[in-house]
Chain A
Amino acid sequence: DTGVSQNPRHKITKRGQNVTFRCDPISEHNRLYWYRQTLGQGPEFLTYFQNEAQLEKSRLLSDRFSAERPKGSFSTLEIQRTEQGDSAMYLCASSLVAGTNYGYTFGSGTRLTVV
């Protein structure tokens, strides 16, 4: 078990381009979460999946953002028409049990820079 894997680690894109990030959770974990962390802030919740169902979305997830988890395994987060304000660290996490009592396992994140 190699933990939660996120690719790419870094992404630099021009404003207006689309980007897609991938997250591979720990294999037996059925819950998967996306968070965003900007400079000087803590991680902010974006969305979460239980298996392939997307059960909650934050108001931070504008219509330019879409997340999928097609077979209940890996997940992708796509940002369309990127803006400079999208520059952040995008963190994926997974867990096996319901709720947050045992904490999530986070990946190392994808750092997005929009120029």
Chain B
Amino acid sequence: DQQVKQNSPSLSVQEGRISILNCDYTNSMFDYFLWYKKYPAEGPTFLISISSIKDKNEDGRFTVFLNKSAKHLSLHIVPSQPGDSAVYFCAASSFGNEKLTFGTGTRLTIIP
């Protein structure tokens, strides 16, 4: 039972354009959402998070949007840079729970 879904295994974006990565979830108990970035041979690195009481959180070039009614979140990267090429994981947790539930990841390739 995949509670966090990333339906696009890969995405290619021209350098300087906007990258939009999508994530859907099924568990209504999830109230905190995170994005991680992973380079080959490294562990995932925390990027940005959002609480369910918000619908947007911004940090520099990265913005996460949350649509609770649709159980959908997205990560926007603008402008996209070559160093953004990596696998991006969406993750979710519920209040008081230390466990993260991850999606299967989206491989983002930025084309110079």
Instruction: Find out whether the CB atom of B44 lies under 8 angstroms from the CB atom of A99.
Output: no
Q: Is the interface of A mostly helix, strand, loop or mixed?
A: loop
Instruction: Find out whether the CB atom of A106 lies under 8 angstroms from the CB atom of B98.
Output: no
Instruction: Find out whether the CB atom of B99 lies under 8 angstroms from the CB atom of A109.
Output: no
Contacting residue for B32 out of A33, A35, A99, A105, CB 8 A? A99
Chain A residues positioned under 8 Å from B34 (CB to CB): 100, 103
Per-position contact with B for A65-102: 1 when CB-CB < 8 Å, else 0?
A: 00000000000000000000000000101000011111
Closest to B9 in A: A40
Q: A45-B99, A98-B98 are in contact. Are A108 and B46 (CB under 8 A)?
A: no
- Please give me the 8 A-B residue pairs with the lowest Cβ-Cβ distance, nearest first: A103-B46, A42-B102, A106-B43, A100-B93, A45-B99, A108-B43, A43-B102, A106-B44
Binding site for A on B (CB under 8 A): 4, 32, 34, 36, 41-46, 49, 51, 89, 91, 93, 95-105
